[in-house]
Chains A and B, each alone.
Chain A
Amino acid sequence: MKEQNIEEIFTAQTQRRRGINVGAALYGRLGQPRRVAPTLGNLRWAQPTLRYLLIMISTLTLPLMSACGGGGGGGSSPTVPSTIMTLSSATPGSNSVYMVKNSSLSSGSVLAIDIKVDSVSNVFGAAFDIDFDSTKMTYSDYSAGSFLETGGHTVTYIATQAVNKLIVGVSRQSPSGGQSGSGTLVILKFNVTGDTSVSFSNNSLKDSSNNTISATWYGGNVTVQ
Chain B
Amino acid sequence: MRLYHTVITGFTLVDGAFYTVTFEATDLIGNPATTVSNAMVFYDSNYGIGPTGNVDNTSYSIKRIDGYDLIKLSLAFGSQPGVPNWNPVCDLDKTGTSANKIDAYDLMMLGIHFGEVQ
B:79-118 near A, CB below 8 Å: 79, 85, 107, 110-111, 114-115
Contact present for B74 and A158 (CB under 8 Å):
no
Task: Please measure, in the bound complex, the distance between the C-alpha atom of A204 and the C-alpha atom of B69, giving whole angstroms.
Answer: 12
Q: B49 on the interface (CB 8 Å rule)?
A: no
Contact present for B115 and A127 (CB under 8 Å):
no
Task: Please measure, in the bound complex, the distance between the C-alpha atom of A167 and the C-alpha atom of B53, giving whole angstroms.
Answer: 15
Other A-B contacts than A125-B67, A129-B66, A202-B66, 7 sampled, CB-CB below 8 A, are: A124-B71, A127-B68, A162-B115, A168-B67, A169-B71, A170-B67, A173-B74
A:101-151 near B, CB below 8 Å: 124-129
A binding-site residues for B, Cβ under 8 Å: 124-129, 156, 158, 160-162, 167-175, 202-204, 206, 208, 210
Contact present for B75 and A210 (CB under 8 Å):
yes
Task: Please measure, in the bound complex, the distance between the C-alpha atom of A173 and the C-alpha atom of B77, giving whole angstroms.
Answer: 6
Q: Considering only CB atoms, which chain B residue lies closest to A129 in the complex?
A: B66
Contact present for B66 and A169 (CB under 8 Å):
yes
Q: Considering only CB atoms, which chain A residue lies closest to B79 in the complex?
A: A174
How many chain B residues touch the partner (CB < 8 A)?
Answer: 22
Tally of A-B residue pairs with Cβ under 8 A? 74
Q: Considering only CB atoms, which chain B residue lies closest to A212 in the complex?
A: B58
Contact present for B71 and A171 (CB under 8 Å):
yes
Main SS of chain A's interface residues? strand
> Can you list 12 A-B contacts (CB < 8 A)?
A124-B71, A127-B61, A127-B68, A158-B114, A160-B114, A167-B66, A174-B75, A202-B66, A203-B60, A208-B75, A210-B71, A210-B75
Task: Please measure, in the bound complex, the distance between the C-alpha atom of A171 and the C-alpha atom of B69, giving whole angstroms.
Answer: 10
Q: B70 on the interface (CB 8 Å rule)?
A: yes
Q: Which residues of A contact B74 (CB under 8 A)?
A: 124-125, 156, 171-174
**Chain B 37-76 interface mask (CB, 8 Å, partner A; 1/0):** 0000000000000000000000011001011111110111
Q: Which residues of B contact A206 (CB under 8 A)?
A: 68, 71
* CB-CB under 8 A for A174 and B76, given A158-B111, A167-B114, A167-B115: yes
Q: Which residues of A contact B77 (CB under 8 A)?
A: 173-174
Q: Considering only CB atoms, which chain B residue lies closest to A202 in the complex?
A: B60
Contact present for B69 and A169 (CB under 8 Å):
yes
Q: Which residues of A contact B70 (CB under 8 A)?
A: 125, 127, 156, 158, 169-171
Task: Please measure, in the bound complex, the distance between the C-alpha atom of A210 and the C-alpha atom of B76, giving whole angstroms.
Answer: 11
Contact present for B78 and A175 (CB under 8 Å):
yes
* CB-CB under 8 A for A160 and B115, given A127-B68, A206-B71: yes
Q: Which residues of B contact A162 (CB under 8 A)?
A: 115
Task: Please measure, in the bound complex, the distance between the C-alpha atom of A204 and the C-alpha atom of B66, giving whole angstroms.
Answer: 12
Q: Which residues of B contact A125 (CB under 8 A)?
A: 67, 70-71, 74
